[in-house]
């Protein structure tokens, strides 16, 4: 029995090393292609896909729609794994900082609570706030971005299937200044509805999918200063559609490898951005209380983003997550350059 256990441990080690080797090889292959800055599309259709990823925090189970633990991408995941606590209540706080090449820093704070309602499913409300230090972009304008968000999720598991739904409301303000002069400003109310599902067709294999529809009515002004200041009003209703299927395989004790595909369509007036993105990676248990992960995000234009992180379960009632991401927002590279992201999350269990 002892020899069999050693063989199993050796096989898991070989499997994890093989997964990491494949990911590294794939990353080198794709990086060989020059990335695209989406310069053929307007800022109004490039910001929404980046906004979606601003709020996707890398925690247990990694960045996949087929996640057994975290509902950051799929609302159905909130109800898949029972909360290991007496009351089934998990308050959490998270923080992300995105540091762009032009020295603009985007700060995101989030607060959520997961409540296990037993036969009524799992309910998870959350709040988040986005602020930036106003820095000059590559077009010579000072960029301001201010967003407050409310998110409500509900999920229910029935044997090998789980369903979830999430509603998101955000109030956003975007400004562009040239020194002391306001060039443009825009205020928008964003409404997004996301449906998610998980299905376990066989042991260790989990499939998932989400579909999201959103719209964001806005009022904007562009200012002209010759011969006197004059405001040119604008308004409209951009729309967005996101579909993301994925699969994860649990090859070891709470260790998994995953692959996702995401299609997004973002429209504003006559401008449309259609994106195709692939996410794949590994989430590996290193110690009894410690997990490590590595992932790649690749889009059809040759842009590659890297993600790595750790999760530490310090006690039954306490866990901590930390992650680093590189160049995850190619849609914004034209204005701000490449990015480095640091994410931290703390969760309690009662």
Output the average pLDDT for the chain: 90
CATH number at residue 152: 2.40.160.40
| Tokens of residue 39, six digits | 């310069």
CA pair distance 231, 329, nearest whole angstrom: 31
pLDDT range class, residue 34, cuts 50, 70, 90? low
Question: Is-contact 45 268, C-beta < 8 A?
Answer: yes
For residue 1, the Cα-to-chain-centroid distance in whole angstroms is 43
* Percent share of the chain, pLDDT over 70: 90
Please state the pTM of the whole predicted model.
0.88
pLDDT range class, residue 83, cuts 50, 70, 90? confident
Cα Rg of the chain (Å, integer) = 21
Domain boundaries, position 42: 2-348
**Tens digit of each residue's pLDDT (9 = 90 or more) over 38-47:** 989 999 999 9
**Tens digit of each residue's pLDDT (9 = 90 or more) over 90-141:** 999 999 999 999 999 999 999 999 999 989 999 999 999 999 998 899 989 9
What is the total count of domains within the chain? 1
Question: Is-contact 327 299, C-beta < 8 A?
Answer: no
CA pair distance 340, 103, nearest whole angstrom: 11
């Amino acid at each position: 029995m002892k020899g069999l256990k050693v063989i199993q441990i050796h096989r898991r080690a070989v499997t994890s090393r093989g997964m990491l080797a494949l990911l590294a090889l794939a990353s080198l292959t794709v990086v060989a292609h020059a990335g695209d800055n989406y310069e053929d599309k307007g800022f109004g259709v490039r910001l929404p896909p980046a906004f979606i990823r601003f709020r996707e925090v890398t925690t247990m189970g990694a960045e996949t729609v087929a996640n057994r633990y975290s509902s950051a991408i799929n609302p159905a995941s909130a109800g898949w794994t029972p909360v290991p606590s007496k009351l089934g209540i998990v308050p959490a706080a998270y923080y992300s900082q995105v540091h762009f090449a032009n020295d603009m820093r985007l700060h995101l704070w989030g607060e959520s609570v997961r409540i296990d309602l037993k036969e009524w499913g799992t309910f998870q409300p959350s709040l988040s706030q986005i602020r930036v230090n106003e820095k000059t972009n590559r077009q010579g304008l000072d960029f301001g971005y201010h967003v407050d968000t409310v998110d409500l999720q509900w999920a229910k598991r029935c044997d090998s299937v789980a369903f979830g739904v999430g509603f998101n409301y955000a109030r956003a303000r975007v400004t562009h200044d040239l020194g002391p002069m306001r060039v443009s400003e825009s205020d928008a109310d964003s409404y997004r509805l996301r449906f998610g599902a998980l299905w376990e067709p066989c042991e260790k294999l989990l499939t998932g999918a989400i579909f999201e529809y959103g719209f964001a009515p806005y009022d904007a002004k562009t200012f002209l200063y010759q011969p006197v200041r004059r405001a040119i009003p604008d308004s409209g209703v951009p729309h967005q559609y996101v579909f993301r299927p994925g699969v994860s395989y649990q090859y070891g004790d709470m260790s998994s490898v995953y692959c996702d595909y995401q299609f997004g369509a973002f429209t504003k007036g006559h401008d449309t951005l259609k994106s195709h993105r692939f996410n794949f990676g590994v989430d590996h248990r290193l110690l009894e209380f410690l997990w490590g992960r590595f992932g790649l995000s690749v889009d059809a234009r040759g842009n590659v983003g890297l993600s790595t992180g750790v999760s530490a379960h310090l006690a039954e009632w306490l866990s901590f997550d930390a992650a680093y991401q590189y160049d995850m927002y190619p849609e914004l590279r034209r204005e701000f350059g490449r990015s480095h992201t640091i994410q931290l999350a703390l969760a309690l269990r009662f």
